[in-house]
A and B are shown apart, each in its own frame.
Chain A
Amino acid sequence: MPETPIIETRDLTKTYSMGLYAIAALDRVSLSFDRGEFAGLVGPSGSGKTTLLNIIGSLDTPSSGSAVVMGQRIESLTHKDAARLRNRHVGFIFQTFNLLPVYTVYENVEFALLLLGLPPAERRRKVMAALEWVHLSDRAASKPAQLSGGQSQRVAIARAMVKEPDIILADEPTANLDAENSHNVLQTMARLNGEFGTTFIFATHDFKVMQYLRRTITLVDGRVDTDRVADGRGGAGGEGGRP
C-alpha cells in the first residue's frame, strides 16, 4: 500500500488583488510530496515559488483549491492551529537567515524548542546536537552579528532542524551566500535529509541548489511547467549529494 503524501495540493490557486486587477500567483497547482523528498521549486521571479512555499508552511492561505499538509487542510486552519502546525511539523530557512539579533547562536536554536515546552536538560541536549550537525558547537555563545553569512545560514538550519520537523521549507537559502558557503550549506541540508528523512522543499533559482535536488518542479506564471525526478546521480544521502 503506497505511503500517503506528506503534502498534497489540488488545484491550488492564489490570487492577489491589485486595485481593479487580480493577479494569479498560483494557478491550479496540483502537486504531492512524499516523506524524505529533497525537492525544489524553480522558476523565474514572480512564478509563484515563494507563494507555494508559504501556503505549504501555513503562513498563507489559498484563494481556492486545497493544500493538505501532515493531514491538515491549510485553508481551514485557525491562526492557532496554523501556528501549532508550523511549530511542530515545519521548519523554515530564509534567504536573509532571520536570526533573532539579541540572542546567541545557542538561544536562537533553542527558541524552537522553548515553544514546544521541552524540559531544559532535553533542550540543551538537542541544541548541542543540532549545532554539532552544522559544525557550529564552538560558536554557541556568539551573537548573529559575529557570524559570517554561511555560519548564519547554518545556524538557521540548526534552528529549523533542532525540533526534528517533518518538513523543511527553504526559501532561496543560498541567495546571500558565496559559492563555497552555498555548497557547505547545501551539503549540510542534504546530509540531514539523508540522516533524518526530513522532507526538504526549496524555492530557488540558484543553479547551485538545483544541482543537489532529487526532484525539480518548474513553475512558470503560477503553473507547474515541468516536474522532473533526477536520475539518481545527485540528491541527498551518501556523501552529501554533490554531483
Chain B
Amino acid sequence: MIIPKLALKNILGAGLRTWLNVFVLSLSFVLIIFSQGLLEGMNQQAEEAMIASEIGGGHYRHPAYDPYDPLSLRDAHGPVPGPLAAMAEAGRAAPVLVIQGTAYPQGRLIAVQVKGIDPAQTVLNLPTAFLAAPRAGDDIPVLIGQRMAALGGLKTGDSVTLQWRDARGTFDARDAVVVQVMKTSVQSVDRGQVWVPLDRLREMTGMPGEATFVVVAQGAARPADAAPGGWQFRGQDHFLADIRAMVESKSVGSSIFYAILLALAMLAIFDTQVLALFHRRREMGTLMALGFTRGKVIALFTLEGLLNGVLAALVAAVYGIPLLSWIARTGWALPGDTDSYGFAIGERLFPRYSVALVAGTTGLVLLTTAIVSFLPTRRIARLKPTDALRGRMT
C-alpha cells in the first residue's frame, strides 16, 4: 500500500502541473464520451424512428415484392394470408398495398409510390387517422410527408391529380386532396410517397383484400407458419443493416477524432513522465538508498502517471456528468438540412451515454495512460543508484 499512497502524495504535491494534466485529460474524457454518445444517440434515434414509422416488428412480404425494384410492384400484391389477416384484425399487424403511380402537382409530373394503409392502424407511428377524417366530396384523401410536400409544392388542403394502373393494367386518374402533411424524420415513408386509405386503394386498383407487405407490431407473436402463403418475414435487423453500416462508416471519422483527443491527453502525460525522469533523478536515487528496488521506483512513477488518469476521470465526472446530462436532455441542434446526413434523425440530436460507452472509454483511457506512463519509466531499470543520487542519467 505504500506505493499508491506515495504516488498520490507525489502527484498532489506537484500542484499546478498535475492539475493541468488532469484538466486536459478530463477534457478528453468528456469530449470522447460526448462525441461517441452523439454517434450512439444518432444511431439509436435513427433506428427508433425507423422502427416506429416504417419497420415495426418486421414485415411479411409478398413473394414477388422487391423494394429495390419498382418494376416488381406490378406483380407484388396478393391476398393477405389468413394468419396475417387475423393479426391485422386483432390490431397486431398492418397490411400495406403498394402500387406505382404518378402525381401531377401544379402541372408537374412526379413519380410516386401510392401506399394503402388502414387509417385505424396503430402498428406504425404515422398519423393515418387523418385519412379517415370526414370530408366533403369524393376526392381521394392522401397523407404526405414534409419532403413530398416540398417536392410537389403542396400543403394541407391542396388538390393534386393522381394517376395509377389497376390490377388489369388500365390507367386511371382522379383528384386527391392532401388531408395532412406529416413531419417525420424517416425519409423512406415520406419522399415520393403518397399514403391513402387501404380500402380505397384496393377499390381503385381492383385488388380487394390484397396487400404487398404486412407490418407486424413490435413484440407481437408471429404465426406458427414461418412463411404463411409463401410470404417471407424480414425482421428489424434486415431493415436496419443499411443504417448500421452507414453508422459504422461514419464512426471511422469519429474514431479519428477520438484518437486525436486521446493522443493530445497522452502527450501531456508522456511529457510529464519524461520530465520527471530528468528532474527527479536525485529523488529516485534517494528512494533506492532508502530501500526501494528499481521495480518499486518504476511502479511508483507509473502509478503516478496512471493516477493522473484516475483523477481526470473524477474531475470529468464532476463537470462532465451535469454537462452531458443537460445536453442529453435538451439535445444538440443540428445545423441545416439533416436529410443530407442520410439518417432518420430529427433537427435535434439526443446523445446516449451507455454504461458500456462510459466504462469502455474510461477503461481505454486508463489503460492507455498506464502504458504511456510506463514507457518512459523503463529507463529507470537501467538507472544506477549512484548516478541517480548525483542527478545523472545512466
Chain A residues with a Cβ under 8 A of chain B? 54, 57, 59-60, 79-80, 83-84, 86-88, 92, 94, 96, 98, 100-103, 107, 111-112, 114-115, 159
Contact partners of A115 in chain B: CB under 8 A: 2, 290-292
Beyond A83-B291, A87-B290, A112-B290, 12 additional contacts (C-beta under 8 Å) are A54-B386, A59-B386, A79-B294, A86-B289, A86-B290, A88-B291, A94-B289, A96-B282, A98-B289, A100-B286, A102-B12, A102-B13
For residue A158, give the distance in angstroms from its CB to the closest CB of chain B.
Answer: 13
Q: A101-B13, A102-B13 are in contact. Are A59 and B389 (CB under 8 A)?
A: yes
Q: Check B385 against A60 for contact (C-beta < 8 Å).
A: yes
Contact partners of B291 in chain A: CB under 8 A: 83-84, 86-88, 112, 115
Contact partners of A107 in chain B: CB under 8 A: 9
Task: Give the number of A-B contacts (CB < 8 Å).
Answer: 62
Q: Check B386 against A83 for contact (C-beta < 8 Å).
A: no
Q: Check A60 against B386 for contact (C-beta < 8 Å).
A: yes
Interface positions, chain B 242-299, Cβ under 8 Å from A, are 282-283, 285-286, 288-296
Give the interface size class of chain B: 20 to 34
Q: Check A80 against B389 for contact (C-beta < 8 Å).
A: no
| Whole-angstrom CA separation of A103 from B7 in the bound complex | 12
Contact partners of B385 in chain A: CB under 8 A: 54, 59-60
B10 at the interface (CB under 8 A from A): yes
Partner of A59 from the list B12, B283, B288 (CB cut-off 8 Å) is B288
Q: Check A57 against B290 for contact (C-beta < 8 Å).
A: no
Chain A to chain B contacts (Cβ below 8 Å), 5 pairs: A59-B386, A79-B295, A83-B296, A100-B286, A103-B13
B155 at the interface (CB under 8 A from A): no
Chain B residues with a Cβ under 8 A of chain A? 2, 9-10, 12-14, 282-283, 285-286, 288-296, 384-386, 389
**Nearest chain-B residue to A78 (Cβ)?**
B293
Partner of B14 from the list A59, A102, A112, A159 (CB cut-off 8 Å) is A102
Q: Check B10 against A102 for contact (C-beta < 8 Å).
A: yes
Contact partners of B288 in chain A: CB under 8 A: 59, 83, 86
| Whole-angstrom CA separation of A107 from B296 in the bound complex | 18
| Whole-angstrom CA separation of A126 from B246 in the bound complex | 68
| Whole-angstrom CA separation of A159 from B286 in the bound complex | 11
**Nearest chain-B residue to A85 (Cβ)?**
B291
Q: Check A83 against B286 for contact (C-beta < 8 Å).
A: no
For residue A166, give the distance in angstroms from its CB to the closest CB of chain B.
Answer: 14
Specify the main secondary structure of chain A where it touches its partner: helix
For residue A5, give the distance in angstroms from its CB to the closest CB of chain B.
Answer: 23
| Whole-angstrom CA separation of A57 from B385 in the bound complex | 11
Contact partners of B384 in chain A: CB under 8 A: 59-60
Most buried by A among B2, B282, B290: B290
For residue A7, give the distance in angstroms from its CB to the closest CB of chain B.
Answer: 17
**Nearest chain-B residue to A169 (Cβ)?**
B289
Partner of A98 from the list B2, B9, B292, B389 (CB cut-off 8 Å) is B389
Contact partners of B283 in chain A: CB under 8 A: 98, 100-101
Q: Check B10 against A57 for contact (C-beta < 8 Å).
A: no
For residue A148, give the distance in angstroms from its CB to the closest CB of chain B.
Answer: 20
Partner of B9 from the list A54, A80, A103 (CB cut-off 8 Å) is A103
For residue A153, give the distance in angstroms from its CB to the closest CB of chain B.
Answer: 14
Q: Check B14 against A57 for contact (C-beta < 8 Å).
A: no
Q: Check A102 against B9 for contact (C-beta < 8 Å).
A: yes
| Whole-angstrom CA separation of A107 from B6 in the bound complex | 10
| Whole-angstrom CA separation of A86 from B286 in the bound complex | 11
Q: Check A57 against B289 for contact (C-beta < 8 Å).
A: yes
Contact partners of A86 in chain B: CB under 8 A: 288-291
| Whole-angstrom CA separation of A115 from B287 in the bound complex | 10
Partner of A80 from the list B14, B286, B293, B386 (CB cut-off 8 Å) is B293
| Whole-angstrom CA separation of A114 from B289 in the bound complex | 14
Shortest Cβ-Cβ A-B pairs, 9 listed = A87-B291, A102-B13, A98-B286, A59-B385, A83-B293, A92-B289, A115-B291, A114-B2, A86-B291
**Nearest chain-B residue to A97 (Cβ)?**
B286
For residue A238, give the distance in angstroms from its CB to the closest CB of chain B.
Answer: 30
